[in-house]
Homo-oligomer: A and B are copies of this chain.
Amino acid sequence: MARIVDVADPEDPRLAPYHAVRERDLIGRDGLFIAEGRVVIEKMAGAPGIRAESLLIAAHRLDAMADILARLPADTPVYAAAQPVIDRIAGFAVHRGLLATGRRIDPPDAEALLAALPPAADVLLLSGIANHDNMGGLFRNAAAFGVAAVLLDADCCDPLYRKAIRVSVGAALLVPFARLPRDADLPALLATHGFRGLALSPRGATLLAAVPPAPRTALLLGAEGPGLDADLLRRVASVRIPMAPGFDSLNVATASGIVLHHLLATRAGDQ
């Protein structure tokens, strides 16, 4: 059970990580992330590789959060304050008065993450995903369809940005991820670890419905608009989602869900 600490002063130095949340989103948080809301904080409490640094909770919500607080380590401070104090600290009206800060413990690098995966595993490999909503949606779908890991190139935004965590419904805290070095040779990396690469593109060579099951698939996704690097597309098998004429445009997170469902459904049918 976590340790409840009543606070009344918005300037209490123990609450510094919660100060001016929006401004800090922009300038970085030294490895700390902010989680908001009951569902996300619940995911955080059970996430391996994540340490809850503290919680800041509206005092009138403590009882409703008791089940989650019971699952936190005994030394995790839970600062309890009146809702207006929390809003003052954060700099905006905090929905339901539930905030937490956390940190990843010893995050693996991409090689170590891939090397530790089980024999049957799919991964996402994201290139240039700079939009936090899309990043959150990609992690949400990764969790929903049992993706084992997400690899991010150097041009992706941080999955632990506050809004990305929220849109992911906490999946950004659950699905292991690692960032690739800028000079990584992706096709070589996938071959080393026995992954079939599958690059999604509107001009992909194979229709999704014709993609057979495989024990290990790495789904490569680029940002809407620019898409994946042309050199990469030449070196990895490519797949396309059929669409109606005249409006061939899908959101990248939605597209990931369509492909991941196909991989899960065909694997199940193959067994």
Binds B, one of A79-87, A212-220, A242-250: A242-250
Chain B interface: which of A52-60, A230-238, A251-259? A251-259
Q: Are A140 and B251 in contact (CB under 8 A)?
A: yes
Given the known interface contacts A145-B244, A244-B143, A244-B145, the answer about A257 and B250 at a Cβ–Cβ threshold of 8 Å is yes
Chain copies in complex:
2
Taking a contact as CB atoms under 8 Å apart, the answer to whether B146 and A244 are in contact is yes
Given that A137-B254, A242-B268 are contacting pairs, would A208 and B247 also be in contact in the complex, using a CB cutoff of 8 Å?
Answer: no
For chain A residues 135-167, which have a beta carbon within 8 Å of chain B? 137, 140-141, 143-146
How far apart sit A174 and B207, CA to CA, in the bound complex (Å)?
26
- Chain B contacts for A261, CB-based, 8 A: 208, 241-242, 258
A234 to chain B, nearest CB (A): 26
With A171-B247, A249-B169, A261-B208 known as contacts, the answer to whether A141 contacts B269 (CB < 8 A) is no
A/B interface sample: 27 pairs, CB < 8 A = A133-B133, A137-B254, A140-B249, A140-B250, A140-B254, A143-B244, A144-B244, A144-B249, A144-B250, A145-B244, A146-B243, A146-B244, A169-B249, A171-B247, A174-B247, A207-B265, A209-B269, A242-B261, A242-B264, A242-B268, A243-B264, A244-B264, A250-B257, A251-B257, A253-B254, A254-B257, A258-B261
